[in-house]
Structure formats: structure tokens, C-alpha cells
Structure 1
Amino acid sequence: MSSSEILLSFIATVLAALISAVLIQATRPILQRVALAKPNARSSHRIPTPQGAGVAVTAATILAGGIVIVLAGSPDLTIPFTVFAACLFIAAVGLADDVRSLPVVPRLLLQAAAVLAVVFSVPGDLRLVPSSPAWLERGLVLIAGLWFVNLVNFMDGLDLMTTAEAVPISVAVALLGSFGYLPAAPALVAAALCGALLGFAPFNRPVARIFLGDVGSLPIGLLLGWCLLELALHRQFAAALLLPLYYLTDATVTLFRRMARREPFWAAHRSHFYQRATDNGFTVWRVVGEVFVLNVVLALLAFASVTLNSPGADIALLLAGSLAVVWQLWRFSRPRTR
């Protein structure tokens, strides 16, 4: 493990946190006028609240990550221009949707364009399954990436929820990069994303004074998806699945349940497990606290997978992580008893 890489990650985290907090404080009065989220039957908030803090989170992540990569001056460490450009593009799509709702099909096509840019930024010699046709693998990764971007957006429906999910993932990715299990660039970007979310957290803690909005959740999903893809491409499949396992399970099970009930699954709703938990007597702090602890556990299992480096251990750790997630979803789906 390189001490210089740890120092760079720390600098990226602190710098992003400062930029994020300053930008949120500066832009909140503007967002109060142009991007006010009003409560409705599907909302988790009760008073009109500005959304769009994702502008600050995205900008802080890109600025801090880019600055630290430039300052590092390493020939092996380059700015991921395509990823950053795709991040800015999908943030613009999210901002447009926050201000004036976009139709479903154009919105998905624009998101797919951003995901496609990230997928094709990966060097051609890096493959998940070398024996499969390249076009098939890239196509499946595109579909998975589009779903991941949207599920992060779907799960951003409670104060601090995205922070409780993304901070443990980004810390784990940054540390794994420091240990040499994936390239330095995604590790530094993950550290910057962690800092940007920590700068956002004081404004979003219950009761939130501002929300991320699609302008934040979409690029966060894209950046996390890219980091997890890099992890999988460097043969850490179990870790790449374990880190986002709670979000993957909650969102996917909810989607299939709504499809089975012939509900408009693309429309806003309150049927995710974390939303049902608040209806079942869990406080917001309790929900996000338990999600955070669960994600820390999943991160530890991911580290164990990387350390043990054994197919048998990967299966056992994935099973343990799945059982932990299922238990958490079961708790959220039941009325809380004192």
C-alpha cells in the first residue's frame, strides 16, 4: 500500500467536502426559487424543499478528483475525460428533469448515451468474460449500467439515504485502490465522491434542508457504476457485487413486484423497502442508520473476498451478504415492535 496514494485520497476527500459545502451554501437560495420539490402522496418530506444540491456534489467530485490527479503528476494516472464528460452530461439531463419533467423514453435514451460513453471508455483488452463475444458483453454491461444509474435515483427517496449507501462504497473503492486492486484514477474519484457527499450530508440530514435531485443521483450512480465496473474488470467480481448489494436487491425486488402487479413501474412510488420501513414505524434516522451499518458490513465482506481470493470464499461471502440484505429487507417490511 502506497502512503502517497493514501495522502492523495485524503486530499481529494477533504477538498471535495469543502467545495461541496461551499457550493451548496451558495446555490441554495437560487434552487429555492427554481427547483422546489413540493410534497405529494409519494414523498417522504412534508414541507417544500429545494432540490439540486447534486450540482455541487457533482462539481466538487470532478474538480477535486481532477485537481488531485493533475497534482499527482504521475504518467500512469490520467484524468478520465470521457467519464467526467459523461458525468456532466447525465447531470445536465437530471437537472432538466428536476426543473421540468422529461418524458420517459427521451430521458432513458439520454442516460443510455452517457452510460455507453463510460462503457466504451474501458480499454478493449479488459474483459469480464474473455470467451464471450465483445459486443454481447458490452451490450449487457450497458443494460446493467443503465439499470444501476436508475436504481440509485430510485433509492434516493429519504434524507441521507444516498450518503448512507454511497459513502461506504466509495471508501471501500478508494481503499482497494490504495492496496492496488484497481487503478488509481477510479480510486481517487471515489475518494472525491465520498468527500462531496460528506460536504452535502449536513444539509441533507433529517429534516433535510436540500435534496440531491436527479442532477445528483444520476451522476453519482454513473460514477459508482464505473468504479464497480473497474473493480469487476480487475477480477474482483464478488467485491463488485457485495458493495452495492443492498441497493441492487431493494430496487430490483421492488421493480419486479410492481411489474407483477401490473403497476406503472416507471412512475414515482413509495413501495421500496426503506420507504415501507418509515410507514412501519421506523424513524428516518433508524432507517438510514441501519442501511449504513449494513453497507459497512458488506464492505468488510468485500475486503474479505479480495483478501482471501478464493472462489469458495467468494461464494460463502456472497451468501453471507445476501442473507444480511434479506434479513434487513424483512425487518423493513414488518411493523416495528418496541
Structure 2
Amino acid sequence: MNPATDALAAAPSLLAVAIAALISALVTWISRPLLQRYALARPNARSSHRIPTPQGAGIAVIAATLLVASIWAAWANVAIPSALLGATVLIALVGLADDIMSLPVLVRLVLQAAAVGAVVFTAPETARIVPALPLALERGLILLAGVWFVNLVNFMDGLDLMTVVEVVPVTAALLLLGWLGEVSWPAALIAATLCGGMLGFAPFNRPIAKVFLGDVGSLPIGLLLGWCLLELAWHGQPAAALLLAAYYLADSTLTLFRRIARREPFWSAHRTHFYQRATDNGFEVSRVIGEVFLLNLVLAGLAILTIRAGSTAITALALLAGAIAVGLVLRRFSRAQAS
């Protein structure tokens, strides 16, 4: 590390996590009455909640993340891509509009693709995952994957604390990898403040939730988290990036394919994700989020192992172990609890 990045090491970065958490909690608490009045999520057949609950607290999480990250970056002389900051604001506004008046699917996708594309196509040409592929093809595939990732984070935000138990372990692992010099400091910085933002939001979202993130939160969280994982892959660690996101990728992608195979309108709202089926199958919400949290800790450990070991054989074994762990959780969620 150089002197600028030394300033970002353990103690200051943990302070940034704490400050982002405090700002997120304060803004969430202050905004709740306003959200209760103008952004109320009413239960329907596809909802996991049973009482009208305000949504839109993602504004607090994203504000805390970007504010603290920007100040920290300026202080430590670290450059966060301006395209990322602008795209995050854009996609948050798209989410806010959708929370208030439900945008058409095509409009949402076009605006999401614009935000993801701004991040992907402004990255340096040296940022590669598979150098053998033509750059334009690789960037096009990353764009498609990025739009899917943004949406799957939104799809998976359907249970109290679900996004918290996904984002906190992943961002904490990315911060640790930043300390170890295995991921760029801009990515570690964003991961740290996003982790703090989610921790500040968590007390308001624990069962039974007093407020939801809303699309204004889940969409930009998907963009920021996806960019951090992309930075890890560009840093030569695609297996670790895949492991960190493995549960969300598996639950959402398998659900999508199952709905397509059944010729269901896969673009419409539903409650057939594995974590949603678990609650229908008799699992308590606390058990579902507890199992997902523990699974993500395991996946984070495997991801860090692949990086530190630097062995192809260990990476293959870690990927296999991660796939088995995710498969066991999905299988358990899809089966009814014994009475």
C-alpha cells in the first residue's frame, strides 16, 4: 500500500462503517413519518408482510453510503469512479419513481441498462476478466450480467432483513480483502460504507419490519454491490466474486428458469423464490434469515480461502463446497417442515 491507502486501513475504515451506520439510522428514523404518509407498501397476495408498511428507507442507506464514501475518498486521495456515483443516483431515482407510481417494465430496464452501461463502458480497457474475449463482447456480457444482478437484488428483497443478511457479510468480506490488498481500495471503500449503511438500517427492518428499503434502495444497492464484485473479478479473482454472490445468484436464477420452463410471466411480481417458499413451508422468518446469514459467512470464508491459497485445486474445491452448501439450503427451503 502507498501512504494514501495506508490511511484507509483498519481503524479509519471501521470508523467509516460506524459513521455510515449512524447517518443511515438517523435518516431512516427521521424519514419514517414521511414514508408512512407517501410511500406505504400495502400487502397483497405476493407480499411477505401482513400490515401496511412504509417503504423507501433505501434513501437513507444510499445517502449514507455515498456521502461517507465521497468524504473518505477525498480525505485519503482515492478516486471513486464518477460514473459509478452518477449511475447510483440515476438508478435510485428510477427506484423512487417506481416506488411511487410503478414504471413500465421496459422503461425500468432501459434506465437500468443505461446506469449499468455507464459504469461498465467507462472502465479502463485494462480491466478484464477473460482477456481472450474481444473487449466489446466481454463488456456486453458484463452489461447483461449487471442488469440481471441489479434486478435479482431487488427480487430477493422480499423478506425482513433478507438484504441485510446478504449485503453485510459480502461487504465485510470485501473490506477485509481491501485490508489484505486483494481488491481495489475504491471498492473496499464503497463496501465499507455500504456495510455501515445496511447496519444502520437493520434495526428498523428486523421482524416485524417497521420500514422497507423499497426499489430506491434495492436497485442502487444491487449496482454498488455488483460493481464491488466486478472489481474483485477484474482484480483476478472471479471465483471469489462468484462465491460471495452465490446464494442470491442461485435462488434468483433457478427461480427465473423454473418460471420460464412453466411458461409463467417471469417478469411479473411473484413469491416463488426459495426463501419465500420456505416461509410458506413453515419456516419462521428468523430461521430463514439466520440460515442465509450463516450460509453467506461460509461462502465469504470460502471466497477468502480461494484468494489467499492461490491454488487452482483449492479454488475448485471451494467452488464445489460452495455449490453444495447453497444447494443444501435451497433444498431445505423448498421442503415443507414436519408438523
TM range (shorter): over 0.9
Look up the match of 1:159: 160
Report the secondary structure of 2:336's partner residue. Answer: coil
Amino acid at match of 1:124: E
Alpha-carbon shift at residue 3 of structure 1 (Å): 7.5
Look up the match of 2:305: 304
Look up the match of 2:294: 293
Give 5+ residue unaligned stretches, structure 1: none
Alpha-carbon shift at residue 193 of structure 1 (Å): 0.2
The answer as to whether partners of 1:83 and 1:121 remain within 8 angstroms in 2 is no
Alpha-carbon shift at residue 132 of structure 1 (Å): 1.1
Alignment of 1:71 onto 2:72: no
Amino acid at match of 2:157: D
Look up the match of 1:283: 284
Report the secondary structure of 2:324's partner residue. Answer: helix
1:79-98 Cα deviation digits (max 9, x unpaired): 32211110010000000000
Alignment of 1:108-119 (within 5 A): 108-119=109-120
Alignment of 1:323 onto 2:324: yes
Look up the match of 2:189: 188
Look up the match of 1:128: 129
Alignment of 1:178 onto 2:189: no
Instruction: Sort the Cα spacing of 1:82 and 1:277 in 2 relative to 1 into closer, same or farther, 3 A.
Output: same
Look up the match of 1:239: 240
- C-alpha distance in structure 2 between counterparts of 1:65 and 1:145, whole Å: 22
Amino acid at match of 1:145: G
Alpha-carbon shift at residue 4 of structure 1 (Å): 4.5
Look up the match of 1:96: 97
Look up the match of 1:62: 66
- C-alpha distance in structure 2 between counterparts of 1:309 and 1:240, whole Å: 15
1:64-122 Cα deviation digits (max 9, x unpaired): 111111122x3xx1132211110010000000000000000011000000000111232
Alpha-carbon shift at residue 287 of structure 1 (Å): 0.3
Look up the match of 1:14: 18
Report the secondary structure of 2:103's partner residue. Answer: coil
- C-alpha distance in structure 1 between counterparts of 2:172 and 2:31, whole Å: 27
Instruction: Sort the Cα spacing of 1:3 and 1:312 in 2 relative to 1 into closer, same or farther, 3 A.
Output: farther
The answer as to whether partners of 1:11 and 1:68 remain within 8 angstroms in 2 is no
- C-alpha distance in structure 1 between counterparts of 2:164 and 2:294, whole Å: 12
Look up the match of 2:215: 214
- C-alpha distance in structure 2 between counterparts of 1:3 and 1:311, whole Å: 33
- C-alpha distance in structure 1 between counterparts of 2:126 and 2:247, whole Å: 31
- C-alpha distance in structure 2 between counterparts of 1:30 and 1:4, whole Å: 36
- C-alpha distance in structure 2 between counterparts of 1:166 and 1:276, whole Å: 21
Alpha-carbon shift at residue 7 of structure 1 (Å): 2.1
Report the secondary structure of 1:39's partner residue. Answer: coil
- C-alpha distance in structure 1 between counterparts of 2:9 and 2:117, whole Å: 29
- C-alpha distance in structure 2 between counterparts of 1:308 and 1:121, whole Å: 32
- C-alpha distance in structure 1 between counterparts of 2:18 and 2:241, whole Å: 25
Look up the match of 1:274: 275
How many residue pairs align between the two structures? 335
Look up the match of 1:39: 43
The answer as to whether partners of 1:177 and 1:183 remain within 8 angstroms in 2 is yes
Look up the match of 1:48: 52
Amino acid at match of 1:227: C
Look up the match of 1:230: 231
Report the secondary structure of 2:9's partner residue. Answer: helix
The answer as to whether partners of 1:203 and 1:210 remain within 8 angstroms in 2 is yes
- C-alpha distance in structure 2 between counterparts of 1:84 and 1:268, whole Å: 29
Write out the 4+ residue segments of structure 1 that deviate beyond 3 Å after TM superposition.
1-4
The answer as to whether partners of 1:171 and 1:191 remain within 8 angstroms in 2 is yes
Identical aligned pairs, as a percentage? Answer: 62
Give 5+ residue unaligned stretches, structure 2: none
Instruction: Sort the Cα spacing of 1:188 and 1:276 in 2 relative to 1 into closer, same or farther, 3 A.
Output: same
Alpha-carbon shift at residue 337 of structure 1 (Å): 2.7
Look up the match of 2:34: 30
Look up the match of 2:334: 333
Amino acid at match of 2:255: T
Alpha-carbon shift at residue 176 of structure 1 (Å): 0.4
TM-score (norm 1): 0.97
Report the secondary structure of 1:42's partner residue. Answer: coil
